[in-house]
Amino acid sequence: MEFLGQVVDIDLNTGSVKFSAFPDELTLRYLGGRGFNVQYLYQHLPADADPLSPENLLLLSCGLLTGTAAPSSARLHINARSPLTGLLGSSNVGGGFGAQLRSCGIQSIIIRGMAPEPVYLWIDRDHIDIRNAKSLWGLDTWQTHEQLTKKLDSRKLKILTIGPGGENGTLFGCIMTDLDHAAGRTGMGTVMGSKNLKAIVIKGQKSAIPFRPAGNGHEAIKRYIWQIKNSRHYKTFRRHGGAGYVKWADDLGILGTRNFRTNTFEDAERVDGKNLTGNIIRSRGCYRCPVQCKAELKFDHGRLSGKKSFRPEFEPMLALGPKCGLNDLETLVYLDNLCSRLGIDSISAGNAIAFAMDLFDRKILNLDDTGGLDLSWGQGKSMEILIKQMASREGLGGILGGGIRQAARTIGRGAERYAAHVKGLEMSGYHPDNMMGTALGYSVASRGADFNDVYSAMEHKWLPDEQIEEFGQPKASDLKSIHGKAELVRRAMIVSMVLDSIGLCKVPVLSLISAYDLIAETELTSVLMERPLTVTDLFAAGERIANIERLFNLRCGASSADDRLPDMFFEKEYNAGQEPSKPSEWMEPMKKEFYSVMGWDEQGRPTEAKLAELGILPERDIRDA
């Protein structure tokens, strides 16, 4: 079978399933995964398509290397127009689903329309059925997984599923696989629910396509694994996962606490994931990943005693812990797992709770507004109730389930001042006051304020001499300096887009190796595809994807005014190491410089010269191409 798999186009209205070859001419221009998805959406999704209408398209694509012999090649990228932001919806998930899909010879799935009743997709190599899912509707993601496994009488299934959050229209509904792997951000589970699509199930293949390397491919793979295993934080990440870095973030002064009121948490050490080491009963991870940073947990007492549970990732630890003032680690684990079961994004959920607690503390919300819930900082029981309400769209939680941008408008009374979002997406856990690269990344990322979308870890990992060599500016490694951050964020954005398009996980590549040069990734891609590629090719593809995403958002109504942090971050008496704390003093210069290095005009619009350089047709012609 060809290295590049098939594109499957499924219309849930009519039940039609069509196969076509993955367009080879796109591999150099947009790679796979994220790149394929966004160019397709830009060409085929009408600008006025409602995110929750049958007109919206849901795309799931493997990266070029997903399911191959490349290390950490598990990633599947999911895109649609986001119901939460109204802009580009984008999420990425690991586990084993992507590799299993690739073993069926499928590179991408395009889902359109809306089924007349709940359904799930059954995939057995090149045979696809649309099956009735009425009995599954209303079940949580773990129950759905269990029921499908029993019904189909197989443990060798890979399942993507939504929970009640996606079914009931929580705008940050997520998609789960392997019980604790989430495509969490921007509401892709809600789009899936709006199509009456409960799950996608792949039957395990007896002879999976290995995509084994030829020539010196084995040596390239060995070198890559060596780089990962010999990186500074490999052993720590393998043992504790991202959960083990809560105290590190606190020590660095970047831990968003109590809805970003402060950047340190007095109980950070209590909720650090290192404290869960004694509860681990099994470590595991994604397909072909040498890190294996996931963990199943066992508790001998408390509400989790005798129950299945999983260690949270880094961002949910911050969102449900310090950001809400919660200092009980077992409760934090329970709440994270509850979000997974109900199928809602734990990062957005934690932010929404922190927002409500902030309003409660400021007397903007009272007990009448909360339905009698005590929303004092750290109240775990109230957090649990709000999460369940978010998934059912009832009570105050139902309002929060529309995202904090919409919730702030509904609540009024000055609530918008404390809504920590960019472009409608709730913010990741790093506090931007002490990380200027992160502040800029939050502001200009295409899906909103999310660290993983830009992943500018070199801001705190690279030494000054590396920054001088790459960006000509030693201040780029000074977290509080605004200088050199435009080039840094441009590099991080492009590299992140490439990784999402070739299907490699960012943890080993950027958190551990942290090279940001795509040299090893180019070698892996070349030897596995048996096609000569250069570093320049990958960087050009990443830049092309960044510009298409920008064009997509502009067409959906975004503007340069959306590329900024909330006002709450400009009201303090400190910023970037100097005064006064005004966006015109630090955010605007970084943003303007970023536009310049991207080849965009002063309003953040790609120029005709830049589009011509990248070979992107102007919007008026692209539909006829």
Distance set, CA 579 to CA 566, 573, 574, 584 (Å):
18, 7, 6, 11
Share of the chain above pLDDT 90, in %: 85
Structure tokens at 313: 């990732």
For the whole model, what pTM was predicted?
0.96
Q: What is the pLDDT of residue 139?
A: 98
Distance set, CA 514 to CA 222, 319, 490, 517, 519 (Å):
18, 25, 15, 9, 12
Q: What is the pLDDT of residue 101?
A: 96
Closest CA to 85 of 406, 424, 419: 424
Question: Distance between CA atoms of 224 and 291, rounded to whole angstroms?
Answer: 12
Distance set, CA 43 to CA 77, 78, 87, 107 (Å):
18, 17, 15, 19
Band of residue 211 on the pLDDT scale cut at 50, 70, 90: confident
Q: Given a cut of 70, is residue 82 above it in pLDDT?
A: yes
Instruction: Work out the angle at residue 94's Cα, subtended by the Cα atoms of residues 90 and 100, and round it to the nearest 5 degrees.
Output: 110
Under 8 Å between Cβ of 433 and 569: yes
Q: What's the pLDDT tens digit per position in 523-550?
A: 999 999 999 999 999 999 999 999 999 9
Q: What is the pLDDT of residue 469?
A: 66
Count the Cβ atoms, other than its own, within 10 Å of residue 451.
23
Structure tokens at 384: 């649990």
Q: What is the pLDDT of residue 465?
A: 63
Question: Distance between CA atoms of 457 and 488, rounded to whole angstroms?
Answer: 10
Q: What's the pLDDT tens digit per position in 441-498?
A: 999 999 999 989 999 888 877 656 666 667 666 677 788 888 889 999 999 999 999 9
Topology of domain 6-203, CATH: Aldehyde Ferredoxin Oxidoreductase;  A, domain 1 (3.60.9)
Q: What is the pLDDT of residue 358?
A: 97
- Residues contacting 340, CB < 8 A, separation 6+: 141, 142, 176, 179, 180, 182, 310, 346
Q: What secondary structure does DSSP assign to 366-422, as a single string? A: -HHHHTT----TT-HHHHHHHHHHHHHT-HHHHHHTT-HHHHHHHH-TTGGGG--EE
Q: What's the pLDDT tens digit per position in 299-321?
A: 998 889 999 999 999 999 999 99
Locate tokens 């991202």: which residue?
Answer: 242
Mean pLDDT, to the nearest integer, of 510-527?
95
Q: Given a cut of 60, is residue 578 above it in pLDDT?
A: no
- Residues contacting 503, CB < 8 A, separation 6+: 32, 33, 62, 63, 64, 65, 66, 67, 70, 73, 74, 75, 76, 77, 98
Band of residue 620 on the pLDDT scale cut at 50, 70, 90: very low
Band of residue 342 on the pLDDT scale cut at 50, 70, 90: very high
- Residues contacting 330, CB < 8 A, separation 6+: 299, 302, 303, 304
Structure tokens at 279: 């509860």
Q: Given a cut of 90, is residue 44 above it in pLDDT?
A: yes
Q: What is the pLDDT of residue 203?
A: 93
DSSP 68: S
Cα dihedral angle (513, 181, 253, 506), rounded to 10 degrees?
A: 20
At 32, the amino acid letter reads G
Q: What is the pLDDT of residue 395?
A: 98
Question: Distance between CA atoms of 34 and 19, rounded to whole angstroms?
Answer: 20
Share of the chain above pLDDT 70, in %: 94
Q: What is the pLDDT of residue 464?
A: 64
Count the Cβ atoms, other than its own, within 10 Å of residue 306.
8
Count the Cβ atoms, other than its own, within 10 Å of residue 238.
18
Distance set, CA 179 to CA 63, 313, 544 (Å):
22, 13, 34
Question: Distance between CA atoms of 33 and 446, rounded to whole angstroms?
Answer: 16
Closest CA to 593 of 479, 394, 436, 470: 436
Range(s) for CATH 3.60.9.10 in the chain? 6-203
Structure tokens at 378: 């750290």
Question: Distance between CA atoms of 39 and 568, rounded to whole angstroms?
Answer: 35
| For residue 566, cis peptide bond before it (omega within 30 degrees of 0) | no
Question: Distance between CA atoms of 88 and 129, rounded to whole angstroms?
Answer: 29
Structure tokens at 524: 């892996």
- The torsion region of residue 379 among left (phi > 0), alpha (psi -120 to 50) and beta comes to beta
Q: What is the pLDDT of residue 210?
A: 58
Structure tokens at 117: 């009743």
Question: Distance between CA atoms of 25 and 34, rounded to whole angstroms?
Answer: 16
Q: What's the pLDDT tens digit per position in 239-280?
A: 999 999 999 999 999 999 999 999 999 999 999 999 999 999
Count the Cβ atoms, other than its own, within 10 Å of residue 350.
29
Q: What is the pLDDT of residue 468?
A: 64
Question: Distance between CA atoms of 19 and 57, rounded to whole angstroms?
Answer: 17
Classify domain 241-419 by CATH architecture: Orthogonal Bundle (1.10)
Q: Given a cut of 90, is residue 154 above it in pLDDT?
A: no
Count the Cβ atoms, other than its own, within 10 Å of residue 499.
27
Under 8 Å between Cβ of 164 and 363: no
Count the Cβ atoms, other than its own, within 10 Å of residue 464.
13
Question: Distance between CA atoms of 600 and 277, rounded to whole angstroms?
Answer: 48
Q: What SS3 state is found at 2?
A: coil
* Rg of the chain, C-alpha, whole Å: 23
The angle that helices 485-502 and 587-598 make with each other, rounded to 10 degrees, is 50
Question: Distance between CA atoms of 453 and 495, rounded to whole angstroms?
Answer: 10
Q: What is the pLDDT of residue 573?
A: 46
Q: What is the mean pLDDT of the chain?
A: 93
Q: What's the pLDDT tens digit per position in 357-406?
A: 999 999 999 999 999 999 999 999 999 999 999 999 999 999 999 999 99
Distance set, CA 93 to CA 63, 77, 378, 510 (Å):
11, 7, 30, 16
Range(s) for CATH 1.10.569.10 in the chain? 241-419
Q: Is CATH 3.40.190.10 correct for 432-622?
A: no
Q: What is the pLDDT of residue 474?
A: 67
Range(s) for CATH 1.10.599.10 in the chain? 432-622
Closest CA to 406 of 185, 170, 81: 170
- Residues contacting 363, CB < 8 A, separation 6+: none
Band of residue 585 on the pLDDT scale cut at 50, 70, 90: confident
Question: Distance between CA atoms of 258 and 378, rounded to whole angstroms?
Answer: 9
